[in-house]
Each structure stands twice: as C-alpha cells, then as structure tokens.
C-alpha cells in the first residue's frame, strides 16, 4: 500500500512510519518539522537524542533496505502544495498526525491558543478539501484523542465514538438515535479534535470520503520493534511540563530521583496505550477501511485505564522516589471514573501490552541512560488553564490521603 504519513516526524508518526515500512508499505512522510521548532521555542529537548529526519531516513534505509520519501510541506498553510503532492503521488491511505498535540502547550498563552486552533483546524480542512478535489479516494486515518469525550461522561462506559440516545418526540413516544458522543473537551487542544470530528462527519456524508478517527489514550513507552533496531532510530521522549505525558514523566522523575509530580489529588482516571500497541492499531485500522458513504469509523485506541495517583504510588514503590502533590493547572474535576469500550481493536486481534509486563523497567533504563540530558527545571507544568487555576498554582494543595499512604513531600 502507498501511505502518506502527515506528521511522520513526530512522536507517533515516526514509529508508525517504521512499523508500516517494515510491513512492506511504501511511505512518504509529509511534515513541516514544527515539533522540532517548538523544542527550540521552549528551549527543551527530547530526552533521547534525535537525529534530523533526513538522517533518520538514511539509517532506516541502511537497516531495513526500505526507502522513505520526505516532503517538507506545512499541511495547515500550503494547501496547493499538499494538493499537488496528493495528485502526483496518489497514496492509497493518508495518516493524519499533522497537528499540535499537547494540551498544556495549547493553554500556554493567547498566542499558543490561536496557533493550535488555526494550525489544527486548517490542517484537517486542507487535507479533506484536497482529498475531495484530487478524487484519489484515499483512506484517511486521523489521530484523535480520548479527550474529545471530556467531561461528558454520565456514568456509562464510553462507547466508540457514537452514543445511542432516546429522544422524546412530539407525540410523547421516544425514538432511538445514534449520535456523535457529545463533545465536552477540557483544553483548546482537545477542542480542536472535536472540531475535526465535525469536519469528518461533513466530508464523509457530503463527499463520500472514507475516514477513520482514532480516539487515542495517553501513550507511554518509547520503543517499538523498529526503533530498537538502531540507536539513531530512537523515538523522541518528552519530559517537559508541556509535552511530557503523565506516565513517561513519572518514569523520568523516578530515574533522577525527582519527586513524582501529581496534579491535584491525582484522582483523575486516564486511558493508556503502549506505543507498540499504538502502531499496531494503526496497522489494524488500515486493513479495515470504511466504505464510501459510510460514516466516520471511530475506534477507542487505548488498552487500560489507571488513576493517576495509583500510577504514581506504583512507580514510587518500584523506585523509592516519593510522590509530590501539586496544584492542578488544569480546569477539571478532582476525581473521575473512566470505563472505556475498545472492543473493535480487540476483535481485530489486538493483544494489549499492559503496564505490568516489564516495559516500565525498559523505560526506566532509557530514562537512566539519558538522565544527564534532563533539565529538572523544565519538568513542572507552567501552563494554567484559566485565571483561577493560575492563582491557585501558588497555593498548597489539600489532599485527602485517608485512603492512600501519605507520601507527599514539599517542593520548591
């Protein structure tokens, strides 16, 4: 299959590229390298030393014999160049990861909010528009997020994208209808993925585009079978307050003996998936495209849920590094339950890698190997969600630890 990977230089895009290339697909990466620019802007670097995309591609050819194409295109801003690429290369599938993907970064300032909305919405709109115009009938696979479900949970397990509801009609009878799960995103970043959903819905119905949207949980891990094949193929590993996701951040902190930073009570329950499973899910979704005229196919791309506090305690026990409770910069409920359906990928044969399988040790090894590259000052998240949370970030958190061992420590 000929596959264009938009955002193929990123955290998911790069291992996805290698995974699909190793399966024999012909790949072209389309990327404006914006994630590298954001590293420069923030003055942080991936824990793992990351070569240029051109060098990575050269190494992959040496290791695997497979060539990868690379097009430097800003998908959000260079519509005509994107269209020309699609017209000429005619991919069978397009993987769309070409978006700003960190919630804290999206809340950092008004400039970051505008950038995230403008970049993410225009990237999706440009791509959909170009797929209609070029009429190449490529299957579009988009990386969405579990965060589109946001605050909407009503006590039911989260279905895969669509919710069945009963509506009372004028005559008093009721009718069942399947609707897109009501969006209630928690950040500007998550909101852009909700906007994406409506764009997909429209283009699937109006133009018959074949679209799959993957609502992914928090990805942990860094290696896949392919990134392990050469030091210079290593994936990026973010540990800073904006881009570092929670489990990876805990492991970094543990590696350098920095107290594990839990925001608020840590009562938030989140969905997780290992990066190896993430790329495997992409493979499965690619093998099962929707038909023209079918609504957007939505998968929940996650394998397990954990309460943040429990994860911190678990890693604390593994490593003897204490847990530190900090004010939560996010505007969210202190505690939430989360039950998520992921039957579709399980039915397609996904055999989930879970937290208990030793990969956390591997990850700790990575963190320890590169710990000289860590600037501990970059670990805290300094992007409050609103005025109230900004004011709260200087306050001490009151945590009811009656049901959890008190391991809080004070931090400067």
Please give the Cα distance from 243 to 108 (Å, whole number): 12
Residue 266: strand pairing partners = none
Please give the Cα distance from 7 to 38 (Å, whole number): 14
**Could you say which of 182, 327, 380, 392 contacts its own copies (CB under 8 A)?**
182
Which region, judged by CB under 8 A, interacts with its own copies, from 42-50, 91-99, 162-170, 353-361?
A: 162-170
**Could you say which of 121, 333, 364, 393 contacts its own copies (CB under 8 A)?**
121
Residue pair 123/99 in contact (Cβ under 8 Å)? The answer is yes
Q: Does 125 bind its own copies (CB under 8 A)?
A: yes
Maximum pairwise Cα distance, the chain: 70
- Strands 218-220, 269-274: pairing kind: parallel
**Could you say which of 37, 52, 87, 174 contacts its own copies (CB under 8 A)?**
174
**Could you say which of 87, 114, 287, 336 contacts its own copies (CB under 8 A)?**
114
CB of 396 to its own copies, least distance (A): 24
- Strands 162-168, 139-145: pairing kind: unpaired
Exposure of 341 by Cβ count < 10 A (0-12 exposed, 13-18 middle, 19+ buried)?
A: middle
Q: Among residues 17, 108, 193, 239, which one is catalytic?
A: 193
193 a catalytic residue: yes
Which region, judged by CB under 8 A, interacts with its own copies, from 8-16, 165-173, 255-263, 276-284?
A: 165-173
Number of residues that bind its own copies (CB under 8 A): 56
Which region, judged by CB under 8 A, interacts with its own copies, from 57-65, 170-178, 215-223, 304-312?
A: 170-178
Show the binding pattern over residues 370-389: x = contacts its own copies (CB under 8 A), - = does not. Answer: ---------------xxx--
Q: Does 79 bind its own copies (CB under 8 A)?
A: yes
319 a catalytic residue: no
**Which CB sits closer to its own copies, 174 or 288?**
174
**Could you say which of 33, 63, 66, 163 contacts its own copies (CB under 8 A)?**
163
Tell me the C-alpha to C-alpha distance, in Å, between residue 216 and each of 86, 99, 298. 26, 14, 10
To which H or E segment does residue 254 belong?
A: helix 246-256
- Strands 174-180, 162-168: pairing kind: antiparallel
Token pair recorded at residue 268: 């938030």
Would you call 305 helix, strand, or coil by DSSP? strand
Tell me the C-alpha to C-alpha distance, in Å, between residue 388 and each of 91, 128, 330, 378. 47, 38, 10, 23
Residue pair 290/212 in contact (Cβ under 8 Å)? The answer is yes
**Could you say which of 331, 380, 392, 397 contacts its own copies (CB under 8 A)?**
331
Would you call 291 helix, strand, or coil by DSSP? coil
**Could you say which of 67, 122, 305, 319 contacts its own copies (CB under 8 A)?**
122
Active site residues: 145, 189, 193
Where on the chain is the footprint of its own copies (CB under 8 A)?
79, 83, 110, 113-114, 117-118, 121-122, 125-126, 129-130, 132-133, 135, 151-152, 154-157, 163-170, 174-175, 177, 179-180, 182-185, 188, 191, 194-195, 198-199, 201-202, 205-208, 331, 339, 385-387
């Amino acid at each position: 299959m000929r596959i264009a990977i938009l955002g193929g230089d990123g955290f998911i895009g790069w291992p996805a590229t290698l995974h699909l290339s190793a399966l024999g697909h012909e790949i072209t990466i389309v990327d404006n390298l914006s994630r590298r620019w954001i590293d420069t802007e923030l003055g942080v670097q991936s824990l793992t030393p990351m070569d240029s995309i051109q060098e990575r591609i050269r190494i992959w050819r040496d290791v695997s014999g497979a060539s990868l194409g690379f097009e430097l295109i800003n998908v959000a801003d260079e519509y005509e160049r994107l269209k020309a690429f699609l017209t000429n290369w005619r991919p069978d599938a397009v993987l769309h990861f070409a978006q700003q993907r960190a919630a804290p970064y999206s809340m950092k300032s008004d400039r970051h909010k505008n950038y995230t909305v403008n970049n993410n919405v225009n990237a999706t709109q440009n791509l959909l528009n170009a797929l209609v115009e070029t009429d190449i009938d490529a299957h579009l696979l988009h990386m969405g997020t579990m965060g589109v479900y946001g605050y909407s949970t009503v006590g039911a397990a989260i279905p895969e994208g669509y919710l069945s509801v009963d509506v009372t009609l004028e005559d008093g009878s009721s009718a069942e209808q399947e609707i897109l799960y009501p969006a209630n995103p928690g950040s500007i970043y998550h909101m852009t993925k909700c906007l994406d959903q409506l764009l997909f819905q429209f283009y699937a119905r109006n133009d018959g585009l074949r679209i799959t949207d993957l609502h992914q949980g928090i990805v942990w891990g860094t290696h896949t079978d392919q990134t392990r094949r050469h030091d210079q193929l290593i994936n990026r590993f973010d540990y800073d307050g904006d881009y570092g996701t929670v489990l990876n951040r805990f492991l970094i902190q543990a590696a350098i003996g920095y107290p594990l930073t839990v925001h608020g009570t840590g009562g938030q329950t989140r969905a997780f998936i290992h990066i190896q499973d993430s790329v495997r899910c992409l493979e499965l979704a690619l093998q099962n495209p929707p038909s023209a005229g079918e609504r957007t196919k939505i998968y929940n791309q996650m394998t397990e849920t954990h309460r943040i506090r429990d994860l911190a305690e678990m890693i604390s026990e593994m490593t003897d590094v204490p847990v530190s409770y900090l004010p939560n910069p996010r505007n969210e409920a202190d505690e939430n339950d989360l039950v998520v359906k992921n039957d579709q990928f399980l039915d397609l044969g996904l055999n989930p890698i879970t937290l208990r399988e030793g990969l956390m040790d591997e990850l700790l090894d990575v963190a320890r190997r590169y710990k000289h590259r860590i600037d501990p000052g970059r670990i805290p998240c300094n992007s409050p969600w609103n005025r109230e949370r900004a004011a709260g970030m200087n306050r001490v958190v009151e945590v009811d630890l009656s049901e959890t061992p008190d391991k809080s420590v004070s931090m400067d």
